[in-house]
Amino acid sequence: MNNLFIVIINYKTPALLRQCLDSILENNPGMEKRILVIDNFSQDESFAMMQKDFPEIKILASQYNSGFGAAINWGINNAPNKAKYLVFLNPDIIMRGNALEKMRDFMEKRPEVALIGPKLLNPDLSVQSSCRRFITPKLILYRRTFLGRFGFAKKALQKFLMEDINHKKIQEVDWIFGACMMVRLAAIRDVGLMDERYFLYFEDMDWCRRFWEKGWKVYYYPEAEMIHYHRRDSAAESGFSALFNHAARIHIRSAVKYFIKYFGVPKPRQEVFKKEILKQRVFRPSSFL
């Protein structure tokens, strides 16, 4: 495991950060020197807790909240030269078993893969949506307006969240949710850092899209499992209420930046999407039978 380097992005979650670190060290003894915590201007007890309870783990404290992507990039720039794979975690992730070893072994066997994500589980061990299809403007509309109540919108959102796939199967996906990602450092050097114009949200999708555009692959890897204490405030609000929710406003701003950036640019993996549509049409039961 010497070729792994773990970066955890913390913001005002000292209790969760402690649980995350405990789970990593419990399942991966001796990893202390290969973990970096980026504290994104929490201004709470996170830094003191780290110094007291995890003195061997390095922590870098930002002087202001630079955003998720910028914090990830800071971690990348502080990775040791011998690191081959970087693991990016939210502090609300709990390791299970030898998940990191399984992910690393898969990457070793598949040199064309830039990024993989594990199966994420809710605290009750139900499967969490952690891999997605590329988003379109109409999906934002469905999530933020009354249109989301209609059947056609619900079906489209389910496809976006990939609720229609077999979550036990290792498979290529458009993008992986940024709560836990293992990324090949060589791919980062080829594609570049995260786009810091996104303060929060969409930076993970943007990164995966750029990997695909450069010929790399992104995989969902359910052989590895982790628990995620997931709370997505940005998706919980719709309509006018979203205007008064800080996280939702950030999400909308990031969406606008994403769609402007890729306006008129064909999405990668379009042939895969067309094959999925054709397969659905071929195997759809006929009403005339």
The DSSP-derived string for 220-289 is EEEEEEEEE----HHHH--GGGGGG-HHHHHHHHHHHHHHHHTTTPPPTTHHHHHHHHHHHHHHSPPTT-
Query: What DSSP designation does 34 have?
Result: G
pLDDT band at 231 (very low <50, low <70, confident <90, very high): low
pLDDT at 232: 52
pLDDT at 248: 87
The encoded tokens of residue 249 equal: 């406003």
* Structural domain contains residue 42: yes
Position 208, amino acid: C
Query: Which residues 6+ apart lie within 8 Å of 17 measured at CB?
Result: 8, 10, 37, 46, 49, 50, 91
For the residues 219-241, what does the mean pLDDT come to? 74
Q: For residues 214-253, b (16+ Cβ closer than 10 Å) or e, as one string?
A: eebbbbbbbebbbbbbbeeebbebbeeebeebebbebbbb
Find, among 248, 245, 241, 161, the residue nearest to 200 by Cα.
248
Domain CATH for 45: 3.90.550.10
Query: 276 phi and psi, to 5 degrees?
Result: -65, -45
Total domains in the fold of the chain: 1
Q: 35 forms bridges with which residues in the sheet?
A: 6
pLDDT at 246: 85
For the residues 46-53, what does the mean pLDDT come to? 96
pLDDT at 270: 79
* Structural domain contains residue 80: yes
Q: Using the structure block, give the residue that is written with the tokens 């993996």.
A: 269
pLDDT band at 85 (very low <50, low <70, confident <90, very high): very high
* Structural domain contains residue 257: no
Sequence length of the chain is: 289
pLDDT band at 287 (very low <50, low <70, confident <90, very high): very low
pLDDT at 273: 58
* Structural domain contains residue 266: no
Q: 118 forms bridges with which residues in the sheet?
A: 221
Q: 180 forms bridges with which residues in the sheet?
A: 89
* Structural domain contains residue 16: yes
Q: What is the mean pLDDT of the chain?
A: 91
**Diameter of the chain by CA atoms?**
71
Share of the chain above pLDDT 90, in %: 84
The encoded tokens of residue 147 equal: 């249109």
pLDDT at 286: 41
pLDDT in tens, 254-284: 999 999 999 999 999 876 755 555 555 444 4
Q: Is the pLDDT of residue 239 over 50?
A: no
For the residues 89-96, what does the mean pLDDT come to? 98
pLDDT in tens, 149-185: 999 999 999 999 999 999 999 999 999 999 999 999 9
pLDDT at 124: 96
Domain of residue 120, residue span: 4-135+166-232
* Structural domain contains residue 258: no
Find, among 182, 225, 176, the residue nearest to 79 by Cα.
182
* Structural domain contains residue 160: no
pLDDT at 245: 80
pLDDT in tens, 180-223: 999 999 999 999 999 999 999 999 999 999 999 999 999 999 99
Q: With a threshold of 0.85, does the pTM exceed it?
A: yes
Please say whether the beta carbons of 66 and 37 come within 8 A.
Answer: no
* Structural domain contains residue 155: no
pLDDT at 58: 97
- What are the C-alpha distances in Å from 64 to residues 11, 38, 40, 70, 92? 11, 12, 7, 11, 21
Q: Is the pLDDT of residue 135 over 90?
A: yes
